Structure 1
Amino acid sequence: MCPLKIWIKAPECVKLMCVQLAFAQCNVGQTLITVERKHQERTELDLDLFCSFFVQMALPTLPSHWHSRSRVLEQQIVRQREQEARLRHQWDQTNQYFKQSNVCSTKQAQWSSRQSYQKSMNAFHLEKQKEEKKKNLEYRREQLRKLLQEERDLLEEELRELQCNKESSVCDMRERTEELKSAREERRKQLAEELLYEQWKKNNVKLREVESSLLKKHVVDAWGEQITVKNQEKEEEDVEKKRFENEYEITRREAIERMKRDKEKRQKQEEELAEVLRQQMEELKLKNLEAKKLKKEQEHLQRQQWEIEELEEERRKMEEHRKKTELGHFLSRQYNAQMKRRAQLVQEELMMDKQILSALISKEDEGQHLQSARREQAIADVTWMKHVIEEQLHLERQREAELDTLFREEAKQVWAKREAEWERERNARNRLMKEVLAARQMQIQERIERNQLAQAESIKNREQLLRQLEEARQFTSREKKEEEEQKTTRRAELKAQIFEQRLREKDAIVQQEEEEKEFKLAEDLENNLLQQEAEIMTQRGYQKKVYSRPRNAWS
């Protein structure tokens, strides 16, 4: 019986005992491993104790602390080994637990799986079908037994009736016998007449010649029909072959036309793609040039910003120098010299401001490609400020020329007046210069920000173009790969068609050769049989045919 059926029909207690037995085998193996490990540890401990004892016996003059140290070391070793043994034992128990859990889960999953359920149900259905077949067989046997018993009873009843009616049917049987004799005599006469007629047909020369001519005609007609059928089959094969060749030629032409159209379409797509790529490359070059130009402009603006900061630093240093000079010569009462020195300082400041404004105007002239209302306003402000400074410089030179004609008291009054005017003019000039420099600084900062935005936009566009170029390259490579695959597929299809056509032609040739060979063999066999039969009949000579007499019904 199948083990699966035994396991399915087994009760749950037997299954549980089998699983426990498997677990016990696993536990025995694990216990043997644990005992072997403990034996090895005990052997190592005995070896260490023996070594310590041997040292003590061999060296009795050693100090006592050596023995105590060795005992402490031995105790540490023993504790360490006990700890290792406990850990190993825990590890073995854990490993055994997980193994048992794994076995339980595996068996439970196996028993509760769909496959196990299907096997159990299949075995149950098979067993049920066998029982049903057995019941049906027993039922049919019982029915057949009843039928046989009924038939036996009927036959016994019929025999009993025949025995009762036997005496009354003797006369009927005699009459029936006479009738059968007369009918048999009639049949014998009719059979004799038929045999005589057949014998006359066989012995008549003319009838044999007619039969021979009919046989030859039949053979010739059969051969003609075979030849006609063979020719028709050959013509049909030729027509089929021609049709297949025409279909193959049409398919080949269609494939060539399709490949040609695909090639033209692909070439057109490649040309369009090449044109798009060329345009994208040109655009990428323009973007690169624009990025370089923006970078140079940003560097130029940063350089201008640094120059403005340097000019502001120079003005600040000149102002500090003026203050130090005033502080150093404040106690001097030479108002004329003081006013001259002060006039020279004011002229130097005015010249410095004029140079700054000239530099700003020259920088504005360099950036003529950036036209805006703010730039025009800044240029106008710088030009006006330069004009004001030139007028003030001219005025200071006139004042310096007037100093030579002044006396001490007048020089003192003029000094106080000039000092107030200079302070007022210096404050106004500083305020105007700060406004001009702040406007220029703001303009440069805005241009730097616009430049940075333009650079970011250029980088974004350039990255987008590079992505498009990469996508186009991938699309081209993918198209080429698909084209190669299509070519390979079409080539394989054509090869398969050619190979199939050759196989059909070869099979047709082989079949034709086999038919010719079979026809030739049949013809040779027939000729051999005819020749052998003629030789046998010639050797025997003429033999009279003996016809058997028909047997009587009672013989």
Structure 2
Amino acid sequence: MLATQKPRRTREYAGPTPHSVAIRAKMPSKLPPDHLILERRRHDDAREEAEAVTKYNALCDLKNDWERITDRRIQLNTVSRKVKGLMLEQEFTLEDRRERLRQLLAAEDAQYLEEMEASQETMLERQAKMRERAKFLKEKREKERLQVVAEKLDQRWREECEELRSTLTRRHMDEVCLERGEQLRIKADMDQQSQAEEKMYADLWHQDMLAKAAREEREAQERHARNQETLKTLQKQKAALEAKKQDAKRLKEEEGRLLAEERELRKMEEQRAQQEKLAKQQQAREDIATNIRLKTKRRAKEMQEELALDMNILEKLLSDSRNEAMEIAQRKKELREEDQRYREYLRQTAREDEERDREIDKLVDAEVQRQWQKRLDEWARQREARKRLMDNVLAVRRQQVEAKLAENAKAQIELQKERELMQAAMDEHKRLEEEKLAGIRRENLAYQDDLLGQLDYTRRQHEMDKDEEHREYLKGLEAEAEYQAKLKEALARPVIDKMHPMRRAHMAKRASGVPYEDLM
């Protein structure tokens, strides 16, 4: 763990002995020593310049506001003066018009008074008008009398002219013959038209009968096609209902599967928490065993090094004693003293080593504790991250499950609504079919009534034509009888009164006792 850890980049460097540390000097800065003062001055200059610009802008804004307000006041005053001038001018113009109207009114009043005074009639004027009226009426009566005289003279000439009378008689006979021929032709045309109408009505009735048969056959085919289409539609709707039922069943199964999956997720979460707990306990046990094993190995190594050192010393002493037998006596004391010094040195060295080992143990323990704490923190962070991740996953999955459940519920509601809409559509289709059949039935009855009405109208028209012919025949008989009676009366009274109508009227008034002045 310590070997793989990256060293931190610091300015401190460890020396050859414990607690000896060297610090590396800093790199010289590229900025001058007084750069802060210069920067501060630059900021102050910029701020003063900005304040000066702001003051200048404020002064300019104040001047602009004053100029704008002044211009607006000048404009308003100018407009006010112009408006006042126009109003005064309009008042003067209005007063002039009023004065002219007063003068016109006075002149019209004077003219009306003069006309009223001039319109009054005098007695002489009234008599003159009456004489003119009498003269006009007399001339009118004379003109009417002369016109009547001219008409009667012309009538007399026509009646007394034999050639004209014979010509008029022949012309009258020709006109009578032509009129009779025209009447016969008209009657033949009417008979032919009546026969054509009867034939047309018969053809129309036959065509209507064929059209009705064709229409009934076509309607039967259309009804059959509609029934087939309705059957197909019902089959499709039935299939759709079955599919919707399958969808609802699938949604319920999916809902059960989602609930089971949610239970599995909860169970997995509990198992994961238990596994994390066991893993933490196992890791703690392994770390403790590792620390104990490291300490045991280090202690055994130290004991082996001490034993090896003692064996080397003994071997050296034995070798020296064998090679220098003659100097044993002389140097025995020196060796003993040297051995004592060496042992003292070894004890001192051992104490220093022990002290150093204790320091190293402390450092190692501190490092191990730090690394262990770091590892625990890392494990805690990882555990917290895994927990957050698992919580997020579970929350997302729970949201997905809830959303899926909501979608299933919504889908079931939509299926229910669609089922209701489909049922309503089927009811509406059935109602429309019934209304359509009722409309067709009404149309057939109306068509039947129209045909019966046409037949009745044709029959009544024939009866009216026969009645009209009979009435014309009776009128002809009456006219012939009246003509014969008038002819007999004329033959019985050959004297014809040819007195002028005005003379006849004059004689009638004389006989009634009207004065002569009134007749004139």
Short-chain TM bin: 0.3 to 0.5
Structure having the higher Rg: 2
- TM-score calculated relative to the size of structure 1: 0.36
- TM-score calculated relative to the size of structure 2: 0.38
